[in-house]
Amino acid sequence: MTSKQNFMEEKFLPIASKMGAQRHLIALRDGIVMVMPLLILGAFSMIVAEFPVEAYLNFMTNTFGENWNAFEGIIMNATYGIVALVACYGVSSSLVNSYKIDGTPAGIIALAAFFTTNIIGAYQDGDATVSAWAASTFDAHLLFTALIIALISGEIYRLLVQKNFTIKLPKSVPLSVSRQFVALLPGAVIILLFVIIRGLFSVTPWGSFPEFITTVISTPLRGFGTSYAGTLVAVFTEHFLWSLGIHGSAVIIFPLFEPMWIVNLQENLSNGAQNIVTQPFYENGIWMGGSGATLPVVVYMLVFAKSKLLKQIGRIGIGPGLFNINEPITFGLPIVLNPFLMIPFIAAPIVVLTIQYVGTAVGIFPYCNLMVPWTTPFFISGFLMTKSLMGVVAQMISFTAAFLVWLPFISIWDKKNYEMERLADNQ
């Protein structure tokens, strides 16, 4: 085992560390994380407005009238409806901040560039024709476009600032004013660039830059990334990196896969699409007690463990584990850089994914269409994200399967530690 640990530390750890520190991936992660509070608030409004208990709905209707749940649409437009804008700002500002440059002006310019590329439509309002952006411009439908524009804008902005292509005002000018003039010339270059891009794509078969991104990049990429095979890649890569001590969720899930799952979720809610893999499907279904589906391990250590080490880790890990935080387990057993426990750590979530995906595909389990925080305790999240008790049943079946995957490995590890503790006590 020591030789295998050394091999992983020498061959894989340096590569994984570089991936974890890659500034563009970090910027994508930060931008998507900024969207999370909006998605949770929007989902909460849906739960309140559509809670699946007839007595509750009748009570609310009788008390507040037929239109009592009109707030749902208002809140959804104000949360889910602007995720592309929030992510665009967040990614660009985070990227520029990583170069030790003020990222706030860059985020604002990225938003302007995003609007520059989107074509204003003409819509009938009675006898009048109104020019406006479609509401789908701002939501997750154009999330990929927003992320790409944010990265391009951020890189151009920081390059021009680093090359001193800025307007410098006297030191007597307040900093809050002079800082905005720093962004003037880079902003002009970026906006002009996207005006040219808009013009070039207007004469192509796609008609616009966002349509090109959606047709050529977003749709095919999402088709694979949210399939069973693509999600399997996500599960394996995330957990392999975690087993090396690298935050696999931050490196792979948040920046690369989560945008696709958010778009799937938006489609399910807005037009009744039946995308199986959504953000809650993964974060509240696969993360059972945290990455590696480790909640069954905590239960084993609390109930069945013989060694003092595992009993102690179980007592420490049960509180965080209920809220899907499992660092006491991954570093306490340890799982990190442990070739033996890496096997179930990777295999258990793959089994859970397979059960959840197949069960949803054949119609046994409901779709996961409501956002709940990833820290929501398992079983509770099963109901909240599906509005169905069958969501809880799906999690119970997955829990049992994960427990069976972990059982032979954790029992052997328990036995080994128990024997080591006995030997130490007899010396």
Ranges of each domain in the chain: 1-29+226-427, 81-221
- Which of 7-21, 141-155, 178-192 shows the lowest per-residue confidence on average (mean pLDDT)? 7-21
- Average pLDDT for residues 92-103, to the nearest whole number? 94
**Residue 8 confidence class, pLDDT cut points 50, 70, 90:** low
Collapsing DSSP to helix, strand or coil, 124 comes out as strand
Query: H/E/C letters for each residue in 90-108?
Result: HHHHHHHHCCCCCCHHHHH
Cβ pair 337, 241 in contact under 8 A: no
As given in the structure block, the two tokens for residue 167 are 């307007």
pLDDT at 293: 94
Neighbours of 6 (CB within 10 A): 11
Question: How far, in Å, CA of 305 to CA of 268, rounded?
Answer: 43
Question: How far, in Å, CA of 16 to CA of 328, rounded?
Answer: 21
**Residue 113 confidence class, pLDDT cut points 50, 70, 90:** very high
Residue 180, H or E segment: helix 175-182
Convert the pLDDT of each residue in 380-398 to its tens digit: 999 999 999 999 999 999 9
- Cis peptide bond N-terminal to 334, omega within 30: yes
Among 188, 30, 183, residue whose Cα is nearest residue 113: 188
Question: Is pTM, for the whole model, over 0.75?
Answer: yes
**Residue 19 confidence class, pLDDT cut points 50, 70, 90:** low
pLDDT at 2: 55
The residue with greater pLDDT, 185 or 129, is 185
Convert the pLDDT of each residue in 269-320 to its tens digit: 888 889 999 999 999 999 999 899 999 999 999 999 999 999 999 999 999 9
Question: How far, in Å, CA of 72 to CA of 94, rounded?
Answer: 31
In this predicted structure, the answer to whether residue 375 has a pLDDT above a threshold of 90 is no
Question: How far, in Å, CA of 195 to CA of 20, rounded?
Answer: 34
Question: Which residues have a Cβ under 8 Å from the Cβ of 242 and sit 6 or more positions away?
Answer: 248, 249, 291, 292, 330, 335, 336, 345
Question: How far, in Å, CA of 215 to CA of 328, rounded?
Answer: 44
Convert the pLDDT of each residue in 251-273 to its tens digit: 888 888 999 999 999 999 888 88
What average pLDDT is seen over the chain? 89
pLDDT at 149: 96
